[in-house]
Structure 1
Amino acid sequence: MDWDQFDLNPKTVAALKKADIKSIKEILNLSGADLQRLMKLSSADIQCLLKTVSRTLRKNSTLTALQLYQDKDHLTSQHQRLSLGCSVLDNLLKGGIPLVGITELAGESSAGKTQISLQLCLCVQYPYKYGGLESGAVYICTEDAFPSKRLQQLIEQQHQLRADVPAEIIQKIKFGNSIFVEHAADLDTFHKCITQRLSLLLARGMVRLVVIDSIAALFRCEFGVSESIVKARYLQTFGAQLHSLSTRFRTPIMCINQVTDAVSELEAAQCSYRVMGSRVVPALGITWANQLLMRLMANRVSWPGQASGVASHCTGSLRTLRVVFAPHLPPSFCYYTVQLEGVKGVK
């Protein structure tokens, strides 16, 4: 560390060099009294030193409300999203998935959670102007095998789903898709995956999207009722690690989650989502919910006739995608269908 570049008293710079303090981390790891004794400076000089290094650390991270509103700082990700590849779904989410933070997609079986995630894995490869991030994706399977055949179908049908994208770009996606598949059936393997393999791929710039399918499967058989505290610690640890990776590399994290029935009156009162008269809540409880930036819920709705407010050609099985909570979105929902070419919203 070149202390001469800092706005410090020459006496303080000389004391830093004499004490062989080589980094800001060393300064912040020592108390004021320790620094005063080690550097043989007054309390006022030490306080000035601490204020200077603190200002240096937060120099590029503090933004005013006006800067956030106008989005003039290029480091701001307030208005940047990863598209879901469908204008209806993107309108629901005001552009798509936020680049920083954990987004959860919960829902019952056959609700279309995996279909949406696979479509995201293709969308992330598109250029920025088409809602992509020009990079690959990591798909972490914790339960079932990776649906490679379905992915190949989506790749072959992209020209029908993305009519707004030039054919030459779609061809690059078709033959140049870079989706890294990882398998993690237990907590130890998952921990190694996100701390080693995933960190390496992100650091090398090979991926800009992480999909975990599913997060609940890791905890289904690992913990008993009496081990809730240990389970909560694991959830907090994984949440912190995923948040750190997402913030550091500005990479969206999509976690697929399962649902459970709300059987008690307390759970029923807290249930914010109802499915055809039943009451379901996302798995893993409030500890996991506190790790999330945004929670989405998908549901399959089977109607024998035409649904109110839905186009007449959509009279069969529909899905709904619902915003349960998000800091930038109100609770809302839209309809969508899963077709051969992918997930398509219904106006």
Structure 2
Amino acid sequence: MDPDQDLDQLELNPRITAAARRAKVTSARQALTVSGPDLQRITGLSRSDVQQLQTAAASACRAHTPVPALLLLRGSGPGLGSGPGLGSGPGRRLGLGCPALDGLLRGGLPAGGVTELAGPSGAGKSQLALQLCLSVQLPLLHGGLQSGAVYICTEASFPIRRLQQLISQQVELRADLPPALIRSIQFSDNIYIEHTADLEALQACVARRVPLLLARGAVRLLVVDSVAALFRSEFQAGDWPERTRRLLAFGAALHRLSHDFAAPVLCINQVTDVVDGSTAESLGLVDAKVSPALGLAWANQVMVRLMMRRLQGSVAAGDQRSAARRLEVVFAPHLERASCCCAVWREGVRGVTGHMIHDTHMTDT
């Protein structure tokens, strides 16, 4: 719908339209940028007339028809499992391929909404993102979405060697699946890699190329690695109003893609030092030393926030040893605040159990 739509095109009593025009309110956008009491004052309309005017204007600006809660519960609303190969079950999730991690997230990443994975450098964030790029290609029955992934790199080059290693180790990670099924999937053919050096390129990719792939059913997962890199580098301290505006527009674009195509969106984020305890508490990170970058403006664009950290300690499994990690649910509408220990192995990121822990001193670094 067009927010600049003329009031004459709205379903309104001609008397209301005429009064608004006399006050130089001629479009739906203008009717919504003035408060109700101010509209009453400048137009001379009653409170109920102004409510009718603003309701009609809001309908003209709305991009999607409202979805009743009952349809959301049934999973039959628009964009909820209606894409190619998605099925129509409610609460569709993209599994991570590990029972412990999927248990923490109640099945995996939600198919509708933006998930943020934040953490310090070396925590294992990109490892988990690569794992999801493979998991999304599995059949629905096995926690996948039976489609490909788009991986947008904004800072480092794409870790192609690590991806190839993960592909070769899929039989080890997914021992619950028939090896023939895994071998039948050409994993590398279904991952589309984009490198964006500036915000203009990033926004063009999200606005044009990604929707085309989603509409064709070629992909059902979007990864941005990382969301903070360009927004941090292209703006000075005094440019925060423009940065916030661009950040909110970017978040809105990601939500539209996720909603329209029932596709999980994973945004990897950097972290910044927390100045004091009150700042940490406002971000849902009580007693944390770091918090996700980009502040509250970005936090309000995220439906699920996950944190991944390295711990002081290591874990062992067979001939492998890895630094211990913790994956934590910071906030989510459907999850409680919880965490689990995990580690990065040749075959991917997996949860760890008590008998695998080699060093008992395991605290956040």
TM-score when scaled to structure 1?
0.77
| Counterpart check, 1:333 vs 2:339 | yes
Residue of structure 1 aligned with 2:264, choices 252, 273, 279? 252
Using a 3 Å threshold, how does the CA distance of structure 1 residues 145 and 270 change in structure 2: closer, same or farther?
A: same
Aligned residue in 1 for 2:12: 32
Aligned residue in 2 for 1:9: none
Rounded Cα–Cα distance in structure 2 between residues aligned with 1:155 and 1:312: 20
Residues 126-137 of structure 1 correspond to what in structure 2 (within 5 A)? 126-137=138-149
Aligned residue in 2 for 1:90: 102
Rounded Cα–Cα distance in structure 2 between residues aligned with 1:87 and 1:35: 63
Aligned residue in 1 for 2:300: 290
Rounded Cα–Cα distance in structure 2 between residues aligned with 1:59 and 1:218: 33
**Displacement after TM superposition at 1:172 (Å):** 2.3
Using a 3 Å threshold, how does the CA distance of structure 1 residues 154 and 272 change in structure 2: closer, same or farther?
A: same
Rounded Cα–Cα distance in structure 1 between residues aligned with 2:66 and 2:283: 41
Tell me if the contact between 1:126 and 1:133 (Cα under 8 Å) persists in the aligned partners.
yes
Tell me if the contact between 1:271 and 1:280 (Cα under 8 Å) persists in the aligned partners.
no
Aligned residue in 1 for 2:20: none
Rounded Cα–Cα distance in structure 2 between residues aligned with 1:28 and 1:199: 33
Q: Secondary structure in 2 aligned to 1:245?
A: helix
Aligned residue in 2 for 1:214: 226
Tell me if the contact between 2:284 and 2:331 (Cα under 8 Å) persists in the aligned partners.
no
Q: Deviations over 1:83-116 (max 9, x none)?
A: 0111100000000000000000000011110000
Rounded Cα–Cα distance in structure 2 between residues aligned with 1:29 and 1:152: 56
One-letter identity of the residue aligned with 1:108: P
Using a 3 Å threshold, how does the CA distance of structure 1 residues 200 and 31 change in structure 2: closer, same or farther?
A: same
Rounded Cα–Cα distance in structure 2 between residues aligned with 1:153 and 1:185: 27
Tell me if the contact between 2:94 and 2:135 (Cα under 8 Å) persists in the aligned partners.
yes
Aligned residue in 2 for 1:319: 325
Rounded Cα–Cα distance in structure 2 between residues aligned with 1:137 and 1:101: 16
One-letter identity of the residue aligned with 1:323: V
**Displacement after TM superposition at 1:315 (Å):** 8.3
Aligned residue in 2 for 1:168: 180
Using a 3 Å threshold, how does the CA distance of structure 1 residues 175 and 218 change in structure 2: closer, same or farther?
A: closer
Using a 3 Å threshold, how does the CA distance of structure 1 residues 172 and 262 change in structure 2: closer, same or farther?
A: same
Tell me if the contact between 1:83 and 1:97 (Cα under 8 Å) persists in the aligned partners.
yes
Using a 3 Å threshold, how does the CA distance of structure 1 residues 29 and 194 change in structure 2: closer, same or farther?
A: farther
| Counterpart check, 1:343 vs 2:327 | no
Rounded Cα–Cα distance in structure 2 between residues aligned with 1:61 and 1:271: 29
Rounded Cα–Cα distance in structure 1 between residues aligned with 2:116 and 2:89: 19
Aligned residue in 2 for 1:119: 131
**Displacement after TM superposition at 1:138 (Å):** 0.1
Residue of structure 2 aligned with 1:79, choices 87, 91, 108? 91
**Displacement after TM superposition at 1:219 (Å):** 1.2
Tell me if the contact between 2:322 and 2:345 (Cα under 8 Å) persists in the aligned partners.
no
Rounded Cα–Cα distance in structure 1 between residues aligned with 2:195 and 2:187: 24
Using a 3 Å threshold, how does the CA distance of structure 1 residues 71 and 208 change in structure 2: closer, same or farther?
A: closer
**Displacement after TM superposition at 1:79 (Å):** 2.2
Structure 2 regions of 5+ residues with no counterpart? 18-51, 83-87, 354-365
Q: Deviations over 1:271-314 (max 9, x none)?
A: 5447xx8610100000000001100000010227x8xxx99999
One-letter identity of the residue aligned with 2:313: W
Aligned residue in 1 for 2:204: 192
Using a 3 Å threshold, how does the CA distance of structure 1 residues 260 and 183 change in structure 2: closer, same or farther?
A: same
Residues 228-239 of structure 1 correspond to what in structure 2 (within 5 A)? 228-239=240-251
Tell me if the contact between 1:77 and 1:100 (Cα under 8 Å) persists in the aligned partners.
no
**Displacement after TM superposition at 1:62 (Å):** 2.3
Rounded Cα–Cα distance in structure 1 between residues aligned with 2:180 and 2:7: 54
Aligned residue in 2 for 1:263: 275
Aligned residue in 2 for 1:10: none
Using a 3 Å threshold, how does the CA distance of structure 1 residues 61 and 170 change in structure 2: closer, same or farther?
A: same
Aligned residue in 1 for 2:24: none
TM-score when scaled to structure 2?
0.74
One-letter identity of the residue aligned with 2:349: V
One-letter identity of the residue aligned with 1:246: S
Aligned residue in 1 for 2:313: 303
Q: How many residues align?
A: 300
Tell me if the contact between 1:302 and 1:318 (Cα under 8 Å) persists in the aligned partners.
yes
Using a 3 Å threshold, how does the CA distance of structure 1 residues 155 and 235 change in structure 2: closer, same or farther?
A: same
Identity in percent: 47
Structure 1 regions of 5+ residues with no counterpart? 1-24, 38-46
**Displacement after TM superposition at 1:60 (Å):** 9.1
| Counterpart check, 1:107 vs 2:110 | no
Aligned residue in 2 for 1:151: 163
Q: Secondary structure in 1 aligned to 2:344?
A: strand
